[in-house]
Amino acid sequence: MAEQKPVIGITLGDYNGIGPEVTLKALSGGQLSRVCTPVLYGSVKVLSRYRKLFNLEEIQLHSIRSLDQMIHKRVNVFNCWDENLEVEPGKSTPEAGQAAYVALKTAVEDLKRGTLDAVVTAPINKHNIQNQEFAFPGHTEYFAHAFGANDALMFLVSEELRVAVATGHMPLEQVKPAITKPLILQKVKLLEQSLRHDFGIGKPRIAVLGLNPHAGEDGLLGSEEKEIIGPAVSELRQKGMLVYGPLPADGFFGTGGYRKFDGILAMYHDQGLIPFKAIAFENGVNFTAGLPIVRTSPDHGTAYNIAGKNLANESSMRQAIYLACDIARNRKEAKELAAERQPQPTAKQS
């Protein structure tokens, strides 16, 4: 049975942030090890320091140099570097940024080999990780590039709601020209496919938010709803999809309208993430839809202000690991079911 558990890679992120803390806390107690085989990409030395600092020494860390050496009942640590890097909780350092990138790159290489079933990424500092190979606004864009995906979807998930973002990590001044009918069509299709294939929802109901206040107020406060978003929604509905909108964002969240839908497409980052984090911050998970691999992460950042103080809540990281397991399992079952439905070749008559 051990070999049937999904192997979940967990990248350490910026080791001066709360990534090591929430990862170790999430894995303490052994519950997660019963449903998956965790492989932490980082450094045993770094993790051992945090393990001692937070009095989590009951966690047994198994050091490996390749996935052939992992033990299914242990917390495996893939050592990605040999240097004795200085751990300075709460500080942004070039060394921590480079280490975060090396851990991420190593996990991606194993994903490409097919030796991981999913990856969970602890928070990075989007500034100190930048280099010639990582010139991206964040994890989402990096994974899309690494796996040759033409498009990817930032997708925030909790038990209460699921919110995707049409324009992702983009300055606000660039959002308006980026909102086009082809973009809305593509993002809703990605969202609908993910809800069906990754979450097992047969006929998902999707809400599409407007760009402007009050969804444009019938053109008084903007024309994007009438000229772009509305026509896109109409086209998708004509194809049989249960898509509704454009809806005014403030009233939609304020009145609990989100509870009637399986997924929501917001037009820009803060329009979707502010209400999401207000409702589900501690248990929210960031999932990248539209990729050939499974990637999740907690919905918070490095939180330098509390790093090393034993104050970080590990709930989001724990849920990110559970969700990675669930989606990897759903995809595997769907693939097996599709294979069973393939018509079998008939024997030639002699």
Residue 324: alpha-carbon gap to chain centroid: 9
Strands 61-64 and 75-79: parallel
Residue 83 has a pLDDT of 84
Residue 337 has a pLDDT of 77
Q: What is the pLDDT of residues 20-63, one digit of tens each?
A: 999 999 999 989 989 999 999 999 999 999 999 999 989 999 99
Measured distance CA(131)–CA(101) in Å, rounded = 9
Q: What is the pLDDT of residues 251-298, one digit of tens each?
A: 999 999 999 999 999 999 999 999 999 999 888 999 999 999 999 999
Residues 6+ apart with CB under 8 A from 235: 181, 185
Residue 2 has a pLDDT of 45
Residue 273 has a pLDDT of 95
Measure the N-to-C terminal CA separation of the chain; round to a whole number of Å: 44
Residue 73 has a pLDDT of 83
44 to each of 49, 59, 140, 289, how far by Cα in Å?
Answer: 8, 12, 27, 31
Residue 350 has a pLDDT of 44
Residue 345 has a pLDDT of 63
pTM, full prediction: 0.91
Q: Where are the domains of the chain?
A: 1-149+291-342, 154-286
DSSP string, 42-65: E-HHHHHHHHHHTT-TTSPEEEES
Residues 6+ apart with CB under 8 A from 304: 16, 17, 89, 90, 91, 92
The answer to whether residues 57 and 51 touch, using CB atoms and an 8 Å cutoff, is yes
- Which class is domain 1-149+291-342? alpha beta
Domain 1-149+291-342 shares a fold with domain 154-286: yes
Q: Does domain 154-286 have CATH number 3.40.718.10?
A: yes
- From first to last of its 350 residues, what are the pLDDT tens digits of the chain? 445 799 999 999 999 999 999 999 999 998 998 999 999 999 999 999 999 999 998 999 999 999 999 998 889 999 999 888 999 999 999 999 999 999 999 999 999 999 999 999 999 999 999 999 999 999 999 999 999 998 899 999 999 999 999 998 899 999 999 999 999 999 999 999 999 999 999 999 999 999 999 999 999 999 999 999 999 999 999 999 999 999 999 999 999 999 999 999 999 999 999 999 999 988 899 999 999 999 999 999 999 999 999 999 999 999 999 999 999 999 988 887 777 777 766 655 54
